[in-house]
Structure 1
């Protein structure tokens, strides 16, 4: 097994866990909250949303979490099957998560750690020791 494949596999599993647990579970929990008629403002108190819009539309955010989790899982499967589209989708998911993590505290911290680690593994696996240019920086 090459080092590159090992790194891709680790990135895929990180993305799979993040998609299933951090983004899939809130989507599944949405059904329970709706079934028990729980007010979204009660649930929103556990988060420090920077934008008040998020507090007012928590259920819609949980639906979007399910969509994003499904995309992350599909990208992970593509990586595990050694497909370039899986690499691209996973890289896009990681970058988008890193940009948006500040809006989703405290869960954004774990999102940032998982996505940052996965993105680093993806880039190392793809580019490895490939030099930026043929010239040396020291010359």
Structure 2
């Protein structure tokens, strides 16, 4: 999802589209995002790359892939409030991904082992 704005960036730059036109009403909370929309599109490409690297790590069953994916989900959930209204969908997808990661890692493992009693 984050990669799509990055893929659209070269087209928008070639067509010389003003970022102020695109940013109209983008973020109600932080006007800084409206003023720097093209920079945010570049950062979304970086974030998409990190998500893909984390997914490859998970496919190869590597701990670093799991850790990177959890970090990506937590950062997305933290920043989703600043990206309203699009942050709602981002939060739902990231929250679901985080739950799946945690269920896959910890499954039915108990918090406390009571076998010593």
Whether these two folds match at TM > 0.5 is yes
Q: Which residue of the partner structure matches residue 102 of structure 2?
A: 123
Kindly indicate whether the alpha-carbon contact (under 8 Å) linking 2:27 and 2:33 is maintained by their aligned counterparts in 1: no
Separation in 2, partners of 1:106, 1:32: 24
Q: Aligned-pair distance for 1:86? A: 0.6
Q: Which residue of the partner structure matches residue 50 of structure 2?
A: 71
Separation in 2, partners of 1:82, 1:46: 41
Q: Which residue of the partner structure matches residue 3 of structure 1?
A: none
Structure 1 residues 1-139: aligned runs within 5 Å: 22-135=1-114
Alignment coverage as a number of residue pairs: 114
Separation in 1, partners of 2:37, 2:90: 18
Q: CA RMSD in A?
A: 1.1
Q: Which runs of 5+ in 1 are unaligned?
A: 1-21
Q: Aligned-pair distance for 1:50? A: 1.0
* 1:49-96: CA deviation from partner (whole Å, max 9, x where unpaired): 411111100000000000000000110111111111110000000000
Q: Which runs of 5+ in 2 are unaligned?
A: none
Separation in 1, partners of 2:34, 2:28: 7
TM-score, normalised via structure 2 length:
0.92
* 1:1-49: CA deviation from partner (whole Å, max 9, x where unpaired): xxxxxxxxxxxxxxxxxxxxx2111001111111111110100115234
Query: Relative contact order (alpha carbons < 8 A, sep ≥ 6): 1 or 2 greater?
Result: 1
The SS at the match of 1:82 is coil
